[in-house]
Amino acid sequence: MTILKKAKNFLAPLPVILVTTRLKVNDVVKDNIIPLSWVGVVDSRPDLININISKGKYSGDIIRKTEQFGVCIPTYKYLEQVDKCGCTHGDKVDKFELVNFSKIEAKQINVPLIRECPINMECELEDIIPFKTHEMFIGKIVKTHIDDEYILEDGNPDFKKIDILCYVNGEYWVLDRKVGNLFFTGKR
């Protein structure tokens, strides 16, 4: 086994999500999308997630001001749109228009969600934890939307149909297949 000269974080895969924000200044509304992969679950009572944004980013500034954001899970079908959102700046370009995503209004927060994403979550900001290069925004999920095409009878998403997009060490990947259920070895 090789030990690298420099320690690296190769935790993978990471989900690719689209975070949406809305800023209203002097009756002008600016909606934005930022793709992220440094995200995760924080807690389940209440449901809390974290998103990590580089310091000084436009989206982080908006979240700090408005204390809300959307988390939208895209499919592989929208890989090009996701990547374009990451190559442009929301303070200079209307990313919804750029990639032709349809807005749907959230029910509890004043942020647009993305119709093309099969899962959309409305989040209210709970905390911000600063690090050297990034800020971790912890959001409480207050509403979850699942497109009817991707929902199972038990109310859970059909992840096989969703074709989730993942990030692995500078590359995009998709999940290939289900290999088992959680705790399957304890049920023998």
pLDDT tens-digit map of 104-134: 999 999 999 999 999 999 999 999 999 999 9
Question: How many CB atoms sit inside 10 A of residue 141's CB?
Answer: 15
> Helical H runs in 17-139?
58-66, 79-86, 95-99
Q: 82: which 2 tokens?
A: 């996701």
Question: Which CATH number is 124's domain given?
Answer: 2.30.110.10
Q: 50: which 2 tokens?
A: 């974290």
- Comparing 160 with 41, the larger pLDDT belongs to 41
Give the pLDDT confidence of 128-180 residue by residue, as tens digits.
999 999 999 999 999 999 999 999 999 999 988 888 899 988 889 887 666 66
pTM of the model: 0.93
Per-chain mean pLDDT for the chain: 93
Q: Distance between CA atoms of 33 and 111, rounded to whole angstroms? A: 11
Please tell me the total count of domains within the chain. 1
The verdict on residue 90 lying in a domain is yes
* Domain limits for position 77: 14-180
The verdict on residue 153 lying in a domain is yes
Give the pLDDT confidence of 4-16 residue by residue, as tens digits.
999 988 888 899 9
pLDDT score of 173: 87
The verdict on residue 77 lying in a domain is yes
Cα-based distances in Å from 143 to 6, 82, 121, 123: 42, 23, 6, 7
The verdict on residue 156 lying in a domain is yes
The verdict on residue 169 lying in a domain is yes
Q: Is 25 exposed, middle or buried (0-12, 13-18, 19+ CB in 10 A)?
A: exposed
